[in-house]
C-alpha cells in the first residue's frame, strides 16, 4: 500500500497496533475476580464500614495519626509508610503561637531518602523545627503554603524552593519541589530535586546537540517525550505528539519516508536513520530520525523508541554557504568578463604615436600596467596639433571597471576636441575640461596634467591634482615644481588653472605617470615618488622605450594597488 498521505499512514499505524493488542490479549488471558465489575468493588472494605478518620484521608483500624503526641507510636500510624516513599518525606506537626496561629512545623517523622547528596535525610531531623532545617522556607513562601494546606485541606503540588546551605566543603545550592497534603491535623510533605544531575546532564546534552527522544508504548498507548524533543517541536512539556499526530505535521513530500520508517519499526526491524521534514508552527524543521523497536519474547514490537536530531540550522547554513559560493562565483565571472571588455575597450582607445612627433624632435613611449583589481580610468594623450605644437596630457578618472573606462574615454575625447580650439593654451584647456565635468552629474572627479610642447623645446603645463612629472637629466631625476597645482577636475566649476613653463634640453627624458605607480597603502606617496626618482637616476641613457621597460621590471604588477599609466618623452 503506497504511503503517500497522512490517512494512509494512520491506517497502517492503527492496523498494526490493533493486531498487536489482539495478539497480546489472547496470550495474556485474564484471572477470574482480578478485574472489578462494579464501581463499589473499587472501595476498600474498611472504608465501606463508615469509620471515618478525622484527617479525611481514609478509614480503618491502624490509622491513628490523630492520636495525642504523648502516646504516638510511629509504627502504628502514617509514619510507618514513610520508608516506602521513594523521595524525601516527613510528617509535620504544626507549632502555634499564643493566638493559635500556626507559625512553624515540627518534624515528627521522616524517611531516609536524601533529596541531594549533601542534604541530611529527614529521619535525622526528627524533633527539629522546619525553619531551623530549612531557613529559606519562610522567604520562599513554603511555610505559608504548608499552613494553607493545613487550613484548607487542598494539596500542594510542586512548590519550588531555592535552598542554599553551607557545608564543610563550601556552599551548596539546589532547587527543591515540595508536595504536601493535610492528614489528621498534620501535614505529610515530600520533596525532591527539580532536576537531578543525570536529568540535567541529559537535558544539556539534548539542547547542545539539538536532539530529543520519544517512547511510544503501543499496548497502553502511553507516549513519553524528552524535554529536548518538546523543544524541537515547540510543544508544552508533558504534551507530546502521538504517532497519529506526527503524521499530520510531516511534510507531504516526506510522508513516504515517514511511512517506510514506521512500517519497518512495526515489523521489528531497525531501519537506518532518515531525514524527514516536519511543519512546526509555521516553520519547516528537518530532523534526522532514528528508531528502534522494543521486541517481546513472542517477537512482537510492543514499543518504539525514536531519537530525532534537528538538522535545520546546519542545512540552512550549508544552503547559505552554497548560495554565497554561487554568488561569489557569479561576481567573479562578471568581474572577469567586465575586465576583459574594459581591457579590450582601453586597448582600442589608447592612442598610437604619429611620425609627426618624431619629426618634431621627440620620441614617445607609453605603457599601461594593470593591477590585479578591476581596470581603472587611467589615460594619456600625445598628438601633434595643426599649429605645430604637441599636446601632451595624462589623467586618471575616478573609479574602476567599465564605468571608469567610459569616463576616461569621455575625458580624452573631450580634451581632443577642445585642443583644436584657437587660442587654447594649457590653462584654458584644463579649465574647459573641468567645466565639462562639473556640468555632468555622472562625471565624478579626475586628476590630470595637460601641457603643450613648443618648437623651442618649451613645455607649458597645468596640473589638476595630479602627481608631478619627473625630469631625468644627466644622472639626476627630480619631480617638476608643482606650486601652480590646482584642484581636481569636476570639483570646482569655473576655477582658473595656472600654468608653469619648463625648458627641456636635448637628451632630457620626461616621465609622466598616474598615482598607482607611487601610491602604497603602507607608505606615504612622497616616499613612493622618491623611490621612482632614485630608480630613474640609477638607470640613465636608456631612452624612452628602455626607461619604461626598466620601470615595468622594477614595479611588479602584483605590487600595484591601482592601475598605472606611464608616458616617457625623450628630447632627441
Three-class SS of 62-123: CCCCCCCHHHCCCCCCHHHHHHHCCCEEEEEEEEECCCCCEEEEEEEEECCCCCCCCCCCHH
> In the predicted model, is pLDDT for residue 500 greater than 70?
yes
Distance CA 452, CA 412 (A): 15
Tell me the average pLDDT across 99-118: 90
Closest by Cα among 382, 381, 393 to 356: 382
Where does the pLDDT of residue 335 fall: very low under 50, low under 70, confident under 90, or very high at 90 and above? Answer: confident
Where does the pLDDT of residue 402 fall: very low under 50, low under 70, confident under 90, or very high at 90 and above? Answer: confident
Q: In this predicted structure, what is the pLDDT of residue 96? A: 94
User: b/e map of 534-558 (b: 16 or more CB within 10 Å)?
Assistant: ebbbebeebebeebbbebeeebeee
Where does the pLDDT of residue 261 fall: very low under 50, low under 70, confident under 90, or very high at 90 and above? Answer: very high
Distance CA 221, CA 426 (A): 97
Where does the pLDDT of residue 486 fall: very low under 50, low under 70, confident under 90, or very high at 90 and above? Answer: very high
Q: Which residue has the higher pLDDT, 215 or 352?
A: 215
Q: What 3-state DSSP class applies to 516?
A: helix
Q: How far is CA 303 from the centre of its chain?
A: 39
> In the predicted model, is pLDDT for residue 439 greater than 80?
yes
Distance CA 546, CA 105 (A): 106
Q: In this predicted structure, what is the pLDDT of residue 50? A: 38
Tell me the average pLDDT across 189-201: 74
String of DSSP letters for 175-209: EEEEEEEEETTEEEEEEEESS-HHHHHHHHHHHHH
Where does the pLDDT of residue 352 fall: very low under 50, low under 70, confident under 90, or very high at 90 and above? Answer: low
Q: Which residue has the higher pLDDT, 443 or 32?
A: 443
The neighbour count for residue 400, using CB atoms within 10 Å, is 19
Q: Which residue has the higher pLDDT, 339 or 503?
A: 503
**What single DSSP character describes residue 61?**
T
pLDDT tens by residue, 446-481:
999 999 999 889 999 999 999 999 999 988 999 999
Q: What 3-state DSSP class applies to 447?
A: strand
Q: Where are the alpha helices (DSSP H) in 350-375?
A: 355-359
Q: In this predicted structure, what is the pLDDT of residue 150? A: 93
Q: In this predicted structure, what is the pLDDT of residue 182? A: 94
Question: Do 360 and 415 form a contact (C-beta atoms < 8 A)?
Answer: no
Question: Do 429 and 418 form a contact (C-beta atoms < 8 A)?
Answer: yes
The H-or-E segment that residue 336 falls in is helix 312-349
Q: Which residue has the higher pLDDT, 67 or 449?
A: 449
Instruction: Please provide the size of the chain in residues.
Output: 572
> In the predicted model, is pLDDT for residue 45 greater than 80?
no
Q: Which long-range contacts (CB under 8 A, 24 or more apart) does 94-99 make?
A: 94/147, 94/150, 94/185, 94/186, 94/187, 95/129
Where does the pLDDT of residue 63 fall: very low under 50, low under 70, confident under 90, or very high at 90 and above? Answer: very low
| pLDDT, the chain, mean | 83
Residue at grid coordinates 546534552: 205
Quick one: what percent of the chain has pLDDT higher than 90? 43
> In the predicted model, is pLDDT for residue 189 greater than 70?
yes
> In the predicted model, is pLDDT for residue 46 greater than 80?
no
C-alpha Rg value of the chain to the nearest Å: 47
> In the predicted model, is pLDDT for residue 138 greater than 90?
no
Alpha carbon distances (Å) from 276 to 210, 247, 273, 534, 543: 15, 11, 10, 70, 75
Cell, residue 116? 541531594
Distance CA 484, CA 464 (A): 9
The neighbour count for residue 266, using CB atoms within 10 Å, is 22
Is this prediction's pTM over 0.85? no
Cell, residue 530? 622618491
Closest by Cα among 191, 181, 190, 189 to 58: 181
Where does the pLDDT of residue 233 fall: very low under 50, low under 70, confident under 90, or very high at 90 and above? Answer: very high
Q: In sequence order, what are the beta bridge partners of 215?
A: 224, 305
Question: Do 246 and 15 form a contact (C-beta atoms < 8 A)?
Answer: no
Q: In this predicted structure, what is the pLDDT of residue 73? A: 61
Q: In the chain, what are the domains? A: 6-21+198-310 (3.30.450.20), 85-194 (3.30.450.20), 350-571 (3.60.40.10)
Longest dimension (CA), the chain: 139
Question: Do 461 and 449 form a contact (C-beta atoms < 8 A)?
Answer: yes
**What single DSSP character describes residue 523?**
B
Vertex 98 angle, CA 97 and 100, to 5°: 65
Distance CA 344, CA 542 (A): 30
Q: In this predicted structure, what is the pLDDT of residue 222? A: 85
Q: In this predicted structure, what is the pLDDT of residue 373? A: 55
String of DSSP letters for 244-303: HHHHHHB-GGGHHHHHHHHHHHHTT--PPPEEEEEEETTEEEEEEEEEEEEE-TTS-EEE
Q: In this predicted structure, what is the pLDDT of residue 70? A: 53
Question: Do 280 and 288 form a contact (C-beta atoms < 8 A)?
Answer: no
Tell me the average pLDDT across 510-536: 89
> In the predicted model, is pLDDT for residue 198 greater than 50?
yes
Distance CA 456, CA 243 (A): 100
Q: In this predicted structure, what is the pLDDT of residue 399? A: 82
String of DSSP letters for 304-335: EEEEEEE-HHHHHHHHHHHHHHHHHHHHHHHH
Q: What 3-state DSSP class applies to 131?
A: helix
Where does the pLDDT of residue 247 fall: very low under 50, low under 70, confident under 90, or very high at 90 and above? Answer: very high
Q: How far is CA 202 from the centre of its chain?
A: 25
Closest by Cα among 479, 404, 501 to 447: 404
Q: In sequence order, what are the beta bridge partners of 143?
A: none
Amino acid at each position: 500500500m503506497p504511503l503517500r498521505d497522512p490517512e494512509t499512514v494512520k491506517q497502517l499505524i492503527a492496523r498494526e497496533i490493533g493486531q498487536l493488542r489482539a495478539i497480546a490479549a489472547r496470550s495474556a488471558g485474564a484471572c477470574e475476580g482480578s478485574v472489578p465489575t462494579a464501581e463499589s468493588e473499587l472501595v476498600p472494605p474498611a472504608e465501606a464500614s463508615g469509620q471515618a478518620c478525622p484527617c479525611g484521608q481514609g478509614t480503618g483500624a491502624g490509622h491513628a495519626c490523630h492520636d495525642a503526641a504523648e502516646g504516638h507510636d510511629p509504627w502504628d500510624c502514617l509514619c510507618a509508610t514513610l520508608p516506602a516513599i521513594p523521595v524525601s518525606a516527613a510528617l509535620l506537626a504544626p507549632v502555634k503561637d499564643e493566638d493559635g496561629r500556626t507559625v512553624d512545623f515540627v518534624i515528627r517523622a521522616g524517611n531516609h531518602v536524601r533529596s541531594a547528596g549533601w542534604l541530611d535525610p529527614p529521619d535525622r531531623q526528627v524533633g527539629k523545627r522546619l525553619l531551623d532545617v530549612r531557613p529559606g522556607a519562610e522567604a520562599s513562601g513554603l511555610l505559608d503554603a504548608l499552613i494553607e494546606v493545613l487550613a484548607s485541606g487542598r494539596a500542594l503540588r510542586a512548590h519550588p524552593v531555592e535552598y542554599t546551605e553551607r557545608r564543610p566543603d563550601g556552599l551548596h545550592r539546589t532547587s527543591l519541589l515540595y508536595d504536601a497534603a493535610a492528614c489528621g491535623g498534620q501535614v505529610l510533605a515530600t520533596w525532591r530535586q527539580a532536576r537531578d544531575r543525570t536529568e540535567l546532564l541529559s537535558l544539556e546534552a539534548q539542547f547542545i546537540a539539538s536532539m530529543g527522544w520519544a517512547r511510544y508504548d503501543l499496548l497502553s498507548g502511553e507516549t513519553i517525550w524528552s524535554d529536548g524533543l518538546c523543544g524541537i517541536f515547540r510543544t508544552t512539556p508533558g504534551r507530546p505528539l502521538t504517532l497519529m499526530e506526527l503524521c499530520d505535521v510531516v511534510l507531504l513530500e516526506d510522508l513516504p519516508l515517514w511511512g517506510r520508517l514506521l512500517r519497518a519499526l512495526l515489523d521489528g526491524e531497525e531501519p537506518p536513520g532518515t531525514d524527514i521534514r516536519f511543519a512546526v508552527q509555521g516553520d519547516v524543521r528537518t530532523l534526522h530520525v532514528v528508531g528502534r523497536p522494543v521486541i517481546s519474547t513472542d517477537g512482537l514490537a510492543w514499543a518504539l523508541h525514536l531519537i530525532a536530531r534537528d538538522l535545520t540550522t546546519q542545512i540552512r547554513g550549508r544552503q547559505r554557504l552554497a548560495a554565497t559560493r554561487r554568488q561569489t562565483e557569479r561576481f567573479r565571472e562578471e568581474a572577469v568578463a567586465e575586465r576583459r571588455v574594459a581591457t579590450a575597450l582601453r586597448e582600442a582607445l589608447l592612442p598610437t604615436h604619429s611620425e609627426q612627433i618624431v619629426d618634431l624632435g621627440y620620441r614617445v613611449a607609453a605603457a599601461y600596467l594593470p593591477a590585479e583589481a578591476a581596470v581603472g580610468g587611467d589615460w594619456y594623450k600625445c598628438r601633434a596639433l595643426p599649429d605645430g605644437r604637441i599636446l601632451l596630457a595624462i589623467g586618471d578618472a575616478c573609479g574602476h571597471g567599465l564605468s571608469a573606462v567610459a569616463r576616461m574615454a569621455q575625458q580624452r575625447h573631450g580634451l581632443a576636441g577642445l585642443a583644436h580650439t584657437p587660442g587654447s593654451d594649457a590653462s584654458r584647456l584644463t579649465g574647459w575640461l573641468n567645466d565639462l565635468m562639473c556640468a555632468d552629474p555622472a562625471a565624478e572627479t579626475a586628476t590630470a596634467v595637460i601641457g603643450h610642447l613648443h618648437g623651442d623645446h618649451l613645455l607649458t603645463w597645468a596640473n589638476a591634482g595630479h602627481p608631478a612629472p619627473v625630469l631625468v637629466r644627466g644622472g639626476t631625476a627630480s619631480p617638476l615644481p608643482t606650486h601652480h597645482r590646482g584642484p581636481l577636475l569636476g570639483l570646482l566649476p569655473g576655477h582658473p588653472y595656472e600654468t608653469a613653463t619648463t625648458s627641456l634640453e636635448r637628451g632630457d627624458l620626461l616621465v609622466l605617470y598616474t598615482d598607482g605607480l607611487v601610491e602604497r597603502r603602507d607608505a606615504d606617496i612622497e616616499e613612493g615618488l622618491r623611490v621612482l626618482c632614485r630608480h630613474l637616476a640609477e638607470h640613465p641613457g636608456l631612452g624612452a622605450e628602455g626607461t619604461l621597460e626598466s620601470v615595468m621590471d622594477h614595479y611588479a604588477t602584483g605590487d600595484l594597488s591601482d592601475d598605472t599609466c606611464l608616458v616617457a618623452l625623450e628630447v632627441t
